[in-house]
């Protein structure tokens, strides 16, 4: 997958802890974002980056401020190599880009949170799950 080509409102539940940072370029609502070397928001690029959270609004130019949910629970579609089972609650979810590619594979991907509930997809390799996301600045581990 790739970064989002347009805004993608995501489904959240519960409280969201927010922050605001300037963008390094175009970022769409719903994109997963990281902090670049200049302290600005950019789309997640994979492992080794500083994951911040989910963009709550779009920015079209460098320097525009973007509100970001740093700590929240969001519904995502996540793939894994084997079939989903109830015992997968608690596993770590990874993102390979700022778009909609979520997996349980850590290689070349950025950890973003943990599965807290499996909504649908038990017995398949793709499931709709609630994931508790925490930006690295907010993580307790």
**What distance in Å separates the CA atoms of residue 120 and residue 36, rounded to the nearest whole number?**
35
Domain co-membership, 104 together with 80: yes
Best-predicted range by mean pLDDT (47-51, 85-89, 108-112, 133-137): 85-89
**For residues 62 and 66, what is the distance between their CA atoms, to the nearest angstrom?**
10
Residues 89 and 129 in one domain: yes
β-bridge pairing 126-134 and 12-22: unpaired
CATH of the domain at 52: 2.40.340
CA distance 26 to 63: 10
Residues facing residue 67 across a β-bridge: 20
In angstroms, how far is CA 113 from the centroid of its own chain? 8
Angle (CA) 70 32 17, round 5°? 15
Residue 109 lies in a domain: yes
What's residue 141's pLDDT?
A: 53
Structure tokens at 87: 């015992």
Q: Is 10 exposed, middle or buried (0-12, 13-18, 19+ CB in 10 A)?
A: middle
pLDDT for 140 equals 63
Q: What tens digit of pLDDT does each residue of 72-98 get?
A: 999 999 999 999 999 999 999 999 887
Query: Do both 51 and 85 map to the same domain?
Result: no
* 14: Cα separation from own chain's centroid: 16
In a domain, 32, yes or no: yes
Quote the number of domains for the chain: 2
Expressed as residue numbers, the domain containing 58 is 12-70
**Angle, CA of 109, 69 and 92, to the nearest 5°:** 35
Question: If pLDDT is split at 50, 70 and 90, which confidence band does 18 have?
Answer: confident
The answer on pLDDT for 2 being more than 80 is no
Question: Could you tell me if 44 and 97 are in contact, meaning their C-beta atoms sit under 8 angstroms apart?
Answer: yes
pTM score of the predicted model: 0.87
Q: Which of 82, 80, 68, 67 is nearest to 115 (CA)?
A: 80
């Amino acid at each position: 997958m790739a970064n989002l080509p347009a805004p993608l409102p995501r489904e959240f539940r519960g409280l969201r802890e927010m922050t605001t940072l300037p963008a390094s370029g175009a970022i769409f609502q719903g994109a997963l974002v990281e902090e670049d070397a200049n302290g600005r928001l950019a789309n997640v690029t994979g492992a080794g980056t500083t994951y911040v959270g989910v963009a709550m609004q779009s920015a079209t130019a460098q320097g525009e401020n973007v509100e970001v949910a740093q700590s929240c629970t969001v519904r995502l579609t996540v793939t894994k190599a084997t079939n989903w089972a109830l015992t997968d609650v608690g596993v770590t979810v990874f993102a390979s880009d700022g778009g909609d590619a979520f997996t349980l594979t850590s290689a070349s991907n950025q950890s973003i949170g943990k599965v807290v509930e499996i909504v649908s997809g038990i017995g398949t390799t793709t499931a709709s799950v609630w994931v508790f996301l925490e930006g690295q600045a907010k993580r307790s581990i």
